[in-house]
Structure 1
Amino acid sequence: MERTWIKYTLLVDRDIEETFVGEVLESPYTLGWVEPQIEILTTENGYDYAENTEGPVIVYLFEPIQDSREEHEARLRAYIGPWGEAVSVDQAEAVAEEHDSWREEFREVRVGDWWIAPSWTMSEELQQADNVLWIDPGAAFGTGYHGTTQDILKLLQEWTPRGKRVLDIGAGSGILSLFCVKNGAAKPVWAVDINPQSDYQIRVNGANNQLADEDVRILIGDASDPAVQAALPAEVDLILLNIGGDEDVEMLPVVDKHLAREGQVILSGIVEWNRDHVVAAYERAGFSLVAEKRSDEWVTVYMERGEVLA
């Protein structure tokens, strides 16, 4: 018989997010996931999104239905009561237990000479493959399905990261960082993301690929924040940026500060109508275009530091 659960959507002040989640993990409730509130924006370059850094984060809790709906909700309100206004219930709904059916949505994908696959994939072809990167979906962005991620992976196969010091900005699930480690990049590869869930997901995916925790150095925060920059290595040979065209340009000072004199940068998350703006900004900063890939409206460019244009 299929069980029914109550799915609670809570709004939690980000100042107490870590403490609240820690307590939930010790409670009778099942933690689903945590995500920021996202605002959809319309810009002159098309659609974009931005994280609402002022408002609360969204926390999803689950509880199997055993009593009346009213009794369940009364117990939840009593549980979150000590948190006062810092935690509130936005929504409660009954949902069917899904077991592992959601896993069917995530299947292996071939990218160049590599397979990207969830750790539970059992296909015979993958068991015999030499090049497999095991990436499980989670609360951090990056499963290998998006064209921008795939195009970066293709460029990394054409222009190997072997022996290079790598900085991955907007690392998400760690797919690019881990790929670089498995392809001979200097250790540690540095992974930066604003999403606190990235730390956990990168460690999970690192373990999936039999890599040590110290192979990837994870920093949570905005790479342009002085405190985060102070923790970064003084110099790297390759910087990966897959955060959006305008954001790639905004990150230019960070790239300029931390990239070696003859270093390379891969820029993605660029929509085709914003491509010239991004490339021109980097060319003015002394970069030259080496290679380019496109997937639908998305553009990914590989650039190398060269002579500054007059």
Structure 2
Amino acid sequence: MELTWLKYTLLVDRKIEDLFVGELLDSPYTLGWVEPQIEILTTENGYDYAENTEGPVIVYLFEKIEDSEEEHVARLHSYISHWADAVSVNQVERVAEEHDSWQEEFREVRIGEWWIAPSWTTTEEVLAAQNVLWIDPGAAFGTGYHGTTQDILKLLQERSPAGKRVMDIGAGSGILSLFCVKSGAAKPVWAVDINPQSDYQIRVNGANNHVDEQDVEILIGDAAEPSLQAELPEQVDLILVNIGGDEDVEMLPVVEERLVQGGQVILSGIVTWNRDHVVDAYQQAGFSLITERASEEWVTILMEKA
């Protein structure tokens, strides 16, 4: 595959971000996207992340190669020179010309009796399979690759959600909500996420799976906030919470209030060193541990409301 584009990674002072991006729209460069710098943290309760609000933002530019790489880079330095130290080139790399080359990073994965695959998959085994969930990557978390998602899907296959009223907290791309719909859960399945991008991504993936929009009720916001709780279903039989150990505990009041007696909750996003903290909190609230799964340092727990 011929590599004919240059990808530039720039560091841009956030104070001039809007001005710089506006200028790029009339430049010979193709603007890819802008993102903040994210720091991955390891806390005593697991993994977390924080946006670096003091440092520069990251801007990605693309340019088709027509001269030597050195000439292109020299012209870019000249182009940004009037911004002085507010804009700098952090990395230059060659990338494939095809706009869909990034799709090669996302392949189908088999989880139990189901395949999770992007919509462009051409693998004959997947196309011939009876149980396929078509999930495209996007700005919302959830492609099926992460151990927590896979372990929840395995538990859902062992204990079918068919006929159950389901609420999915931390729905992300909608992978778990859509799985429940396709597995016969009561409609609608409630998909809750704090990320506004989830609304669009769930609708896209729902269409990919021929799921009617009314089959998934999407709520954007924090399920722990009173303003959103008024929109939650009054009672459900199964709650999925796949966000993080501390967040799982923060959702305990919501789970207690909305889960029927004898109902079950699947808690994930937990790491081994935070597992006991989560289990103890729920057991003290009257929940019993049914089973659990582990993938590397990640733990997924199924509990029942006594």
TM-score normalised by L of structure 1: 0.79
CA distance in 1, matches of 2:52, 2:230: 22
Determine the structure 1 residue equivalent to 2:4. Answer: 3
Q: Counterparts in 2 of 1:144-223, with a 5 A limit?
A: 144-223=144-223
Q: Given the alignment of the two structures, is residue 277 of structure 1 paired with residue 284 of structure 2, yes or no?
A: no
* Aligned-partner SS, 2:260: strand
Residue in 2 that maps onto 1:69? 76
Is the aligned partner of 1:49 residue 2:48?
Answer: yes
**Residues 35 and 286 from structure 1, CA distance in 2 versus in 1: closer, same or farther, beyond 3 angstroms?**
farther
Residue matched to 2:69: none
> How much has 1:266 moved relative to structure 2?
0.1
Question: Do the aligned partners of 2:34 and 2:60 also contact (CA within 8 Å) in 1?
Answer: no
Q: Using a 3 Å threshold, how does the CA distance of structure 1 residues 199 and 37 change in structure 2: closer, same or farther?
A: farther
Is residue 2:94 matched to residue 1:96?
yes
SS state at 1:231 partner: coil
For residues 200-223 of structure 1, the C-alpha deviation after alignment (integer angstroms, 9 at most, x for no partner) is 222221121111222222222222
Greater shift, 179-188 or 51-60, is seen at: 51-60
Q: 1:179 to 1:97 in 2, by over 3 A?
A: same
Q: Is the 8 A contact 1:114 1:133 kept in 2?
A: yes
Return 5+ residue gaps in structure 2 as ranges.
67-71
Distance apart, 1:53 and its partner CA: 9.7
| Same amino acid, percent of matched pairs | 64
Aligned mates of 2:55, 2:221 — CA distance in 1:
17
1:134 positional shift? 0.8
Q: Name the stretch that deviates more: 207-216 or 28-37.
A: 28-37
Q: Give the distance between the partners of 2:149 and 2:129, measured in 1 at CA.
A: 21
Q: Following the alignment from structure 2 to structure 1, what is the Cα–Cα distance between the partners of residues 299 and 272? A: 6
**1:139 partnered with 2:139:** yes
Is the 1:119–1:208 contact (alpha carbons within 8 Å) kept by the matching residues of 2? yes
Cα deviation, 1:53-97, whole Å, max 9, x if unaligned, reads 97799675544358832575489x8xxxxxxxxxx8676754434
The DSSP-based 3-state class of the residue aligned with 2:142 is coil
CA deviation vs aligned residue, 1:183-233 (integer Å, no higher than 9, x gap): 111222121222222222222211211112222222222221222222222
Q: Does the 8 Å CA contact 2:44/2:274 hold for their aligned counterparts?
A: no
Deviation of 1:38 after TM superposition, in Å, equals 3.3
Instruction: Say which SS state the counterpart of residue 228 (structure 1) adopts.
Output: helix
Listed as ranges, the gaps of 5+ residues in structure 1 are 78-87
State the match for 1:83 in structure 2: none
Alignment of structure 1 residues 226-305 onto 2, 5 Å? 226-305=226-305
Once structures 1 and 2 are overlaid, which stretch shifts more, 134-143 or 218-227? 218-227
The Cα of 1:168 is off from its aligned counterpart by: 1.1
Partner of 1:82: none
Shift in alpha-carbon separation, 1:35–1:219, aligned structure 2, 3 A: farther
State the Cα distance separating 1:4 from its structure 2 match: 2.5
Q: Following the alignment from structure 1 to structure 2, what is the Cα–Cα distance between the partners of residues 166 and 31? A: 41
Between the aligned partners of 1:54 and 1:166, the Cα distance in structure 2 is 37
Distance in structure 1 (CA, Å) of the matches to 2:54 and 2:264: 37
Distance of 1:57 and 1:188 partners within structure 2: 43
Q: Distance in 2 between matches of 1:120 and 1:213?
A: 22
- Per-residue CA deviation, residues 134-179 of structure 1 (Å, 9 max, x unaligned), is 1112222111111111110011011111122211111111111111
Letter in 2 for 1:250: E
Q: Please say which of residues 47-56 and 270-279 is displaced more in the overlay.
A: 47-56
Distance 2:195 2:52 in 1: 11
- Give the CA deviation at 1:111: 0.6
**Distance of 2:169 and 2:29 partners within structure 1:** 34
Whole-Å separation in 1 of the counterparts to 2:223 and 2:10: 30
Asked whether the 8 Å contact 1:40–1:50 carries over to 2, the reply is: yes
Matched residues, number: 290
